[in-house]
Chain A
Amino acid sequence: MWVYEKKLQYPAKVCKPDVKMAKYLIAQYGGPDGELAAALRYQTQRFVMPTGKAKAVLTDIATEELAHLEIIATLVFKLLKGVPVEILKREGLGEYYTEHDRGLFYADTTGMLWTAAYIQAKGDAIADLHEDMAAEEKARATYEHLINLTDDPCVKDTLRFLREREIVHFQRFGETLVHIQEYLESKRYF
C-alpha cells in the first residue's frame, strides 16, 4: 500500500505568477512523458519482474515519481494563483479555464487528455526496462526544454532538481537491465 507524507520531496518555488509557463509545465503533469505516466508505468510493470532487485527499483521509482507529480502540480498551482481571467484568456489558457478554472487536470500543453496509451507494460522485463530508460531520457529532454522556456530562477531551480532525478533513474534502470540480462543468462545454463 501507499502512505501519504504531508510534505513535498523538494521545495517547489515560484518567484511570480506566469500563465504561459503553467501551460508549458502541465506537459509534465498529464503529458506523454510526464510524471503521471512515469509513476503508473513503473507501478504496473513491476508485478512480473523476475527478481527482487527489479521489483524494488520499479516500486521505489514509481513512488518517487508520484512525489514529482505533486511538485509539478504545486508549480502549476502557484503559477496560476490569483491570475485574473482576462490574463488566463490572453495567455492561451481560456480553454483550460473553461473546463478546470485554475484546478489541476491531467492534460498536456495542447490540452490533450492523459491516456494509458502513453505507456506500455509488455510483461517482459527486458522490453519494459528499455522502455523505462527511454522514458527517463524523454522526461530529461522535456525538463531541459522547460528550463529553456522560463527566466524565473525559482522555477528553474525546481526543474533542475527534477531533471537530475531523471538522470539518476536512467542510471538505476540501466543497472537493473544489466542485472536482468545476467539473471536470464544464468538461468539458461542451469
Chain B
Amino acid sequence: MDGNQISMLKKIMEIEFTCIDLNLYLDTHPEDQKALQDYNYYSNQLSMLKQQYEQLYGPLMVFGHSQSQYPWKWVDAPWPWEIEY
C-alpha cells in the first residue's frame, strides 16, 4: 500500500468521522441549522474524496454503491485490518 493511498484513506476517515459525530448530534438536535449546514458540507467533501480514492484504489463500498474497474477490484488486498497506518 503506497503512502498516497494511506494518506487519502486517513483523510476519508477524518471527514467521515466528522459526519458521524454531526449525524449523532443531529439525531437529537434536528433543528440545529448550523450543524445541518456543516453536515451537508462535510458529506459533500466526503463523496468527492471517496470518488477520487475509488478511481485509484477500487471500491470502498459494494452492493451497487460504487462502481469497479476491470477486473472486479473489491477482492483486492489490503483489507482494513491488514493495513499499517
Interface residues of B in 62-76 (CB under 8 A from A): 62-63, 65, 74
Q: Report Cα–Cα, A8/B60, bound state, in Å.
A: 11
A168 within 8 Å of B (CB atoms)? yes
Contact B13 A57 (CB under 8 A): no
* Residues of A close to B74: CB separation below 8 A: 6
Total A residues in contact with B, Cβ cutoff 8 Å: 28
Q: Which residue of B lies closest to A63 (CB)?
A: B20
- Does A73 sit at the interface, judged by CB under 8 A? yes
A78 to B79, CA, bound (A): 13
Q: With contacts defined as CB atoms under 8 Å apart, how many contacts are there between chain A and chain B in the complex?
A: 70
| Chain B contacts for A5, CB-based, 8 A | 60-61
From DSSP, what is the main secondary structure of chain A's interface residues?
helix
A73–B27 CA distance with the chains assembled, in angstroms: 28
B contact face: mostly helix, strand, loop, or mixed:
helix
Chain B nearest CB: distance from A108 CB in Å?
A: 21
Q: Give the docked Cα–Cα distance between A60 and B17 (Å).
A: 13
Stretch in A18-26, A32-40, A172-180 touching the partner: A172-180
User: Which chain A positions have C-beta within 8 A of B83?
Assistant: 8, 11
A78 to B83, CA, bound (A): 10
Contact with B along A160-182 (1 / 0, CB 8 A): 00000000110010011001000
Q: Are A3 and B27 in contact (CB under 8 A)?
A: no
A42→B71 CA distance, assembly (Å) = 38
How far does the Cβ of B32 sit from chain A's closest Cβ, in whole Å? 12
Task: Report how far A9 CA is from B17 CA in the complex, Å.
Answer: 7
Question: Contact partner of B81 among A56, A57, A78, A169, CB < 8 A?
Answer: A78
Q: Interface of A with B (CB < 8 Å)?
A: 3-13, 53, 56-57, 60-61, 64, 70, 73-74, 77-78, 168-169, 172, 175-176, 179
